[in-house]
Structure 1
Amino acid sequence: MPRRISDNLVLQIKQYLALHAMPTGARLTERALAERFKVSRSPVREALRRLADEGILTEQDDGGHAVSEHGAALHQTPEALLTAPDPLEQAYFAIAEDRLEGKLPERVTENEFARRYDLTRAQLAAVLRRMVQEGWIERLPGHGWQFRPVLTSADTYDQGYRFRILIESAGILEPTFRANLAALRRCELQQRELLDHINDASAADIFNANTQLHETIAECSGNVFIIDALTRLNSLRRLMEYRKSFDRAAAARRCREHLVLIDLLLDGQQEAAADFISRHLRDAANEKSARSEAPG
């Protein structure tokens, strides 16, 4: 989603204050900022107003602006927090949120997508490609697109977790279960890497890694119905997972639990693994349900 000039200026001015370690009380003028960033004074004026609202700047009696104590501390802010968000990521999550809120119909044309989310054709193609890969939209003949069914309520989300407890633990106890050692070790490496970078990973990264592990275990069951059911359910719940409040400490804890689960399977302890995955899923369901109900 293309950003307005004032959106970019807010970030650019913050970056400027941080880079130059501007002290409290340093004056900022519309003219100087307009010349520095090669823009007109109108978007600069809007950016200054927004920065004053954030407490980064203070308004002066003469109408000018000065750096506040909060603004002077920006040089201590991690660089990532002063970087503009990815416009394609913004558009992707805006579409997902609108779909879950019922603000988008089942069928949408490319022109409607582009107009509603201010996307170029190239940007829209990239966003739609990701949505297709993740399984929650499909192309219709012509230029139309149709959303596939997704979980849209807390009740169906909770039901999905209860269903997973039933089928994933049962899958490990199937007589046809055969541990795919190579695939499990790949998942183990992925979980360790995720744990090492949990503070940088996105909600999508975490969902994809965790889904891959659980679907790998389901595939070991040799039961085509369990494999198909879990794959379909994961596709349905993807957007609800993205929407949940994101607790990195809980995500790290689940990574560590996944490593325990993998160890049990690599050691051939199927009954212990089945018990463990039931507790793991039940705890995750309770945790996410409680977090979604918390105020704020």
Structure 2
Amino acid sequence: MSVDTTIPKQIVELIKTEAWGPGSHLPAQMLADRLRVSRQPVNAALALLHEKGLLTRERNRGYFLAKPVTEPLSDVVSRLGLAESDLVTHTYFQIAEDLLKGELPQEFSEQLIKNRYGLTASQLNAVLSRIAREGWAERKPGYGWTFSAMLSTPDSLLQSYRLRLALEPAALLEPGYRLDPKVLEQCRATELHLLNNGIMSASTDELHDRGVRFHESLVEASGNAFFIDTIRRVNRVRRLLSYRSMKQRERYQEHCRQHLHILDLLERERNEEASAFMREHLLHTMKSLSKIKDILKSKG
């Protein structure tokens, strides 16, 4: 049966990244905060990982890691049966592409998606669950679904960057700004991995999510709940055009180097310089996107 395995896979990746050992407690709220999702999908993911033997569960205490996770992530995911089917992944991206081409109606039924893409009921559920969680479609009250009207044109993506241009540099100047050293090192390790051939080998999902985690981590260190909520919302709804922009990845090496420079400045508590350079970084990205507008445009 095809189920949405995104959150379970992210939890396994976090276990590996953090090098958590057997007996480590995995509180649902902590994981929800780290993965920037609600507790509901995290609780479902923990229950699934418990069923598969990776976790133990103690009454009134929660879930704990049952065994070490030492193999490569792809091997762990395969062993646990968490690899999303090729058809589900392909259909997810095909729906995104068809939506951007204007080939899907704004409002749609599950039957339309099931018939158009030849899905089983479980595959349909996996695809729509992922789309809904990522914020570019939602179930209507009563019957049917609707796609988000936001970010369906190249100009929309640039507008989202103008919002970020106003928000992210300001977040770095918030009183009491503090980027946890452990988070800083995780961000740095990710950027170095991408520069070491990771840019071309990463999936579209991985590349998008790593960029999102970098920028959200820096904004979260501001402690300003309004900034944090806004950056999370804009990142959820810009995903569609972000995917299409990744068809040309050559620009990402410079992005990684710029990210590393911002981290170096923040580590030395030179926040004013980091803020100014964050503005330059976002302007550089907007300039890059303007050069690939043809990729972002609907082909329909």
- Same fold flag (TM > 0.5): yes
Question: C-alpha separation between the residues in 1 aligned to 2:234 and 2:159?
Answer: 11
Q: Specify the SS of the correspondent of 2:199.
A: coil
For residues 235-250 of structure 1, what are the structure 2 equivalents within 5 Å? 235-244=236-245, 246-250=247-251
TM-align CA RMSD: 2.3
**Structure-2 residue corresponding to 1:112:** 112
Shift of 1:86: 2.7
Q: Specify the SS of the correspondent of 1:240.
A: helix
Residues 38-80 of structure 1, C-alpha deviation per residue, up to 9 Å, x if partnerless?
xxxxxxxxxxxxxxxxxxxxxxxxxxxxxxxxxxxxxxxxxxx
**Structure-1 residue corresponding to 2:185:** 185
Residues 14-49 of structure 1, C-alpha deviation per residue, up to 9 Å, x if partnerless?
xxxxxxxxxxxxxxxxxxxxxxxxxxxxxxxxxxxx
Any conservation in 2 of the 1:150–1:239 contact (CA below 8 Å)? Answer: no
Residues 136-181 of structure 1, C-alpha deviation per residue, up to 9 Å, x if partnerless?
2223456633323431122222122122111100110111422222
Shift of 1:262: 1.4
TM-score under structure 1 length normalisation: 0.66
Q: Which deviates the most, 273-282 or 240-249?
A: 240-249
* Amino acid across the alignment from 1:220: A
Q: Specify the SS of the correspondent of 1:152.
A: coil
Question: C-alpha separation between the residues in 1 aligned to 2:133 and 2:190?
Answer: 20
Any conservation in 2 of the 1:245–1:291 contact (CA below 8 Å)? Answer: no
Q: Specify the SS of the correspondent of 1:249.
A: coil
Question: C-alpha separation between the residues in 2 aligned to 1:208 and 1:104?
Answer: 26
Q: Which deviates the most, 167-176 or 245-254?
A: 245-254
Any conservation in 1 of the 2:136–2:237 contact (CA below 8 Å)? Answer: yes
Q: For the structure 1 residues 253 and 86, does the alpha-carbon distance in structure 2 shift closer, same or farther, using more than 3 Å as the test?
A: farther
Residues 1:151 and 2:151 are matched in the alignment:
yes
**Structure-1 residue corresponding to 2:266:** 265
Shift of 1:215: 0.7
Any conservation in 1 of the 2:134–2:237 contact (CA below 8 Å)? Answer: no
Larger radius of gyration: 1
Shift of 1:203: 2.2
Question: C-alpha separation between the residues in 1 aligned to 2:144 and 2:261?
Answer: 45
Any conservation in 2 of the 1:177–1:221 contact (CA below 8 Å)? Answer: yes
Question: C-alpha separation between the residues in 2 aligned to 1:149 and 1:258?
Answer: 31
For residues 70-109 of structure 1, what are the structure 2 equivalents within 5 Å? 86-109=86-109
Q: For the structure 1 residues 151 and 266, does the alpha-carbon distance in structure 2 shift closer, same or farther, using more than 3 Å as the test?
A: same
Q: Specify the SS of the correspondent of 1:198.
A: helix
Residues 1:285 and 2:286 are matched in the alignment:
yes
Q: Figure out how many residues of one structure are paired with residues of the other and give that number.
A: 212
* Amino acid across the alignment from 2:205: A
Any conservation in 2 of the 1:245–1:292 contact (CA below 8 Å)? Answer: no
Unaligned runs of 5+ residues in structure 2 are 1-84
Any conservation in 1 of the 2:191–2:256 contact (CA below 8 Å)? Answer: yes
**Structure-2 residue corresponding to 1:251:** 252
Question: C-alpha separation between the residues in 2 aligned to 1:218 and 1:168?
Answer: 6
Shift of 1:116: 0.8
Question: C-alpha separation between the residues in 2 aligned to 1:246 and 1:111?
Answer: 31
Question: C-alpha separation between the residues in 2 aligned to 1:159 and 1:240?
Answer: 12
TM-score under structure 2 length normalisation: 0.65
Question: C-alpha separation between the residues in 2 aligned to 1:176 and 1:99?
Answer: 43
Q: Taking every aligned residue pair, what percent have the same amino acid on both sides?
A: 38
Q: Specify the SS of the correspondent of 1:167.
A: helix
Q: Specify the SS of the correspondent of 2:200.
A: coil
* Amino acid across the alignment from 2:109: T
Question: C-alpha separation between the residues in 2 aligned to 1:252 and 1:123?
Answer: 36
Any conservation in 1 of the 2:150–2:156 contact (CA below 8 Å)? Answer: no
Unaligned runs of 5+ residues in structure 1 are 1-84
**Structure-2 residue corresponding to 1:163:** 163
* Amino acid across the alignment from 2:108: V
Q: Specify the SS of the correspondent of 2:151.
A: coil
Question: C-alpha separation between the residues in 1 aligned to 2:113 and 2:143?
Answer: 11
Question: C-alpha separation between the residues in 2 aligned to 1:246 and 1:279?
Answer: 23
**Structure-2 residue corresponding to 1:23:** none
Question: C-alpha separation between the residues in 2 aligned to 1:200 and 1:218?
Answer: 27
Shift of 1:199: 1.6
Question: C-alpha separation between the residues in 2 aligned to 1:161 and 1:141?
Answer: 32
